[in-house]
A and B are shown apart, each in its own frame.
Chain A
Amino acid sequence: MNKHQSSLDQWVVSVLRGAPFPPIKESAATNMATAIKRRRSQPARYALRGALALIGPGAIAGLFLFGRPTTSMAALTLTDVDRALSAVRDVSVTRRIATGTGDLYTATEMRSGKRWEFSVVGPGRKAVMSEMMDGSKTYQVAFVNKRIWVFVDGPTNAPHSLRTLPTPESFMSLPTSIFGGTVKANHVKAETNVAWNGRTVVRFSGDQQTALAGGTPISTLHRVLYVDPATRRPLELQVSALNSKLSETVTYDYHPLAETSFVADIPKDARVIDMPAERTAVRKALKRDGLIVLDEFHMAAVFLPDRPKIERAAKANHVRVRINQGPLSYTWPQPVTISDNGFVSPSRRWRQMVLYVQPPVTNEKTLSVGSLATIEVNGAKFRVPVMRVASTQLEFETACRWD
């Protein structure tokens, strides 16, 4: 037992250690034995890998000695390529993403002036989502549990993060949020006069090591970008992870896009959500009653209208929350901002307090979307409506909607 542990710590540890766990299946040991034997019976693959490791450096050295392709660091930079891409009016980008589990996603993004469209097709050509801005309205189509939702909003810019057009420079310094951990400094090599798909191009390539904060390596990403030297526009970008199935190929097309490319195609059985009206409803509920929003992991965020009471609760370091007379939960109030575009995000500016509560599993049926729930916060009771939220690309960004 740790010398720093109090009796309360010991009680916490004993409760956690004393919890039951699912039994080991009878077949587990034999399945594991089979997996180990299968790994042992793969020496041929490892031998081949060893041979490739020997041949690889030799081939690279040979290419270097014979001077093909030639290496030049002066002619063209990634910044030039980025600039050329952002100056383009019409562009279509197709991204083929193989996830670490082997699933294949195809993301297509088109841009023509201020109009844009983004769509994702998952394994088995199944539509995952699509988003479009036709110049006056934004349409976001989501396919959730065999139901189709369409969120209609005002004009917006193409969203950032993964859904933006991957510019070569930004892609060459891939955001660590996707792969986790830190990224070591990257050295990009530029080669001119490279023959590729029947044309002469500039090739940028580089390896990138991602690692945990302590330096434990996660994976090495190898990236190759082919650029047209005349227009300085990117043609294709290839990313592969050396020790994972994760890979991505991005293809660029610069043919002019017709206006009909940006006409919303709303499926007949879709449920259309008017986002401005939703926001009005959320603000009204916040002002009058407060509300509970549930995310897909059944985490409840409790927004309360009565600031002084919550401020007092915040000073108490933590608050006791009871939902629908269920068991008590303990949590800390956190300040958030509900911005004009409907997103909830953490904020230092004190605008709205939120209590994130994991409702007890035994109490889950008592929280039904669309109904009123009773919330007790440090003894103060509130009757608040229950809503659902749909997570977007960031952990803390959640768009509210009525179910």
Chain B
Amino acid sequence: MIEQACEVAAVAPRRSTGADMDLAAKLAVADLAAIADFLQAYRPGVFRYLSQSGCSRDDAEDLASQALLNAARDIRRFRGDGPLQAWVFRVAHRVLLRHRRRERLISLFGSRPLAEHKENWATEDYVVVSQAVASLPPDQRAAFLLLEVEGLSVNEAAGVIGAPAGTVKSRAFYARQRLRAVLASAYPENSHE
């Protein structure tokens, strides 16, 4: 049932600045077709980024909706200095940080119940890779996900995370090194360069 209710995630297409501005302008007037286009293009990536950043699947779904809603509501602030994708991820990253602060606050006042896991669809590959990614330090994980999985440039990822470009680059490098070390023994057929 869950398998039927899921779609396969895709990477947001790289649009030209003009196309981004066009989409932003349509979003600002609540054009339904533009909103559908916006959700279709950015929801998979944002959901993937949040779910791989230590959020449960349910939390990631809620936070992705919140992030995209925030982005669409504040779309007038998008000035077209960079791609819309990077701007959306910046909003999502902020939502993630807020969520983590809230979780930390909740942990001050008591524990929370165990999350219900419903990931029956997860393949063995996905479980192994997710665990390896989850074991990365949060900074390295964010850099790796934005650069490698979501395809942002170093400068764009730096803008999202709020760290210098060189730092993001080195974090992604160490993340790749650690993932190779962890996953090489599990999948030797993939370890050759």
Query: Which A residues are within 8 Å of any B CB, using their own CB?
Result: 2, 4-9, 11-13, 15-24, 28-37, 39-40, 99-101, 105, 120, 122, 128-129, 142-145, 162, 177-181, 211-216, 218, 296-298, 317-318, 320, 327-332, 356, 358, 360-362, 364, 390-393, 395
Expressed in whole angstroms, the Cα–Cα distance for A297 and B176 within the complex equals: 26
Expressed in whole angstroms, the Cα–Cα distance for A284 and B43 within the complex equals: 50
Neighbouring A residues of B119 by C-beta, 8 Å = 361-362
A42 vs chain B, min Cβ distance (A): 11
Query: Which residues of chain B (91-142) have a CB below 8 Å from chain A?
Result: 97-98, 100-102, 104-105, 107-115, 117, 119-135
Query: Which B residues are within 8 Å of any A CB, using their own CB?
Result: 3, 5-11, 27-30, 32, 35-36, 39-40, 43-44, 47-48, 51-52, 57, 61, 65, 68-69, 72-75, 97-98, 100-102, 104-105, 107-115, 117, 119-135, 145, 147-149, 158-159, 161-164, 173, 176, 179-187, 190-193
Whether A29 lies near B114 (C-beta < 8 A) is no
Closest to A12 in B: B129
- Tell me whether A17 and B9 are in contact in the complex, defined as CB-CB below 8 angstroms, given that A22-B47, A298-B114 are known contacts: yes
Closest to A162 in B: B108
Whether A214 lies near B9 (C-beta < 8 A) is no
Whether A122 lies near B109 (C-beta < 8 A) is yes
Neighbouring A residues of B129 by C-beta, 8 Å = 12, 15-16
Closest to B37 in A: A29
- Most B C-beta atoms less than 10 A away, residue of A15, A213, A393: A15
Whether A144 lies near B52 (C-beta < 8 A) is no
B189 vs chain A, min Cβ distance (A): 9
Neighbouring B residues of A142 by C-beta, 8 Å = 110-111
Expressed in whole angstroms, the Cα–Cα distance for A271 and B193 within the complex equals: 57
Partner of A20, one of B3, B130, B132, B186: B3
Neighbouring B residues of A28 by C-beta, 8 Å = 39, 65
A344 vs chain B, min Cβ distance (A): 15
Expressed in whole angstroms, the Cα–Cα distance for A297 and B107 within the complex equals: 11
- Tell me whether A360 and B111 are in contact in the complex, defined as CB-CB below 8 angstroms, given that A216-B162, A317-B181 are known contacts: no
B120 vs chain A, min Cβ distance (A): 8
- Tell me whether A327 and B127 are in contact in the complex, defined as CB-CB below 8 angstroms, given that A17-B10, A19-B48 are known contacts: yes
- 26 residue pairs of the A-B complex, CB under 8 angstroms, read A4-B173, A4-B176, A6-B180, A7-B190, A7-B193, A15-B125, A16-B130, A16-B133, A17-B9, A21-B6, A21-B8, A21-B51, A22-B47, A32-B30, A32-B72, A35-B73, A128-B110, A177-B104, A180-B100, A211-B162, A298-B115, A327-B124, A327-B127, A330-B132, A358-B135, A364-B117
Whether B181 lies near A318 (C-beta < 8 A) is yes
Whether A19 lies near B9 (C-beta < 8 A) is yes
- Most B C-beta atoms less than 10 A away, residue of A11, A15, A16, A99: A16
Q: A12-B129, A15-B123, A35-B69 are in contact. List 13 more A-B contacts (CB 8 A).
A: A6-B176, A11-B187, A24-B43, A29-B36, A32-B69, A105-B109, A142-B110, A180-B97, A211-B162, A297-B114, A317-B181, A330-B132, A358-B134
Interface SS of A by simple majority:
mixed
Whether A296 lies near B9 (C-beta < 8 A) is no
- Tell me whether A129 and B36 are in contact in the complex, defined as CB-CB below 8 angstroms, given that A7-B193, A20-B121, A21-B7 are known contacts: no
Expressed in whole angstroms, the Cα–Cα distance for A142 and B145 within the complex equals: 37
A185 vs chain B, min Cβ distance (A): 19
Partner of A21, one of B47, B115, B135: B47
Whether A328 lies near B180 (C-beta < 8 A) is no
Return the 9 tightest CB-CB contacts between A and B, nearest first.
A20-B6, A212-B162, A214-B162, A361-B117, A296-B111, A33-B30, A216-B162, A36-B30, A330-B182
Closest to A215 in B: B162
B158 vs chain A, min Cβ distance (A): 7
Partner of A144, one of B9, B110, B130, B161: B110
Whether B176 lies near A9 (C-beta < 8 A) is yes
A378 vs chain B, min Cβ distance (A): 10
- Tell me whether A18 and B191 are in contact in the complex, defined as CB-CB below 8 angstroms, given that A122-B109, A129-B110, A180-B101 are known contacts: no
Whether A128 lies near B109 (C-beta < 8 A) is yes
- Tell me whether A358 and B190 are in contact in the complex, defined as CB-CB below 8 angstroms, given that A21-B47, A23-B5, A128-B109 are known contacts: no
Expressed in whole angstroms, the Cα–Cα distance for A268 and B129 within the complex equals: 48
B67 vs chain A, min Cβ distance (A): 12
Expressed in whole angstroms, the Cα–Cα distance for A142 and B97 within the complex equals: 27
Expressed in whole angstroms, the Cα–Cα distance for A29 and B73 within the complex equals: 12
Closest to B169 in A: A4
Expressed in whole angstroms, the Cα–Cα distance for A40 and B73 within the complex equals: 9
Whether B183 lies near A12 (C-beta < 8 A) is yes
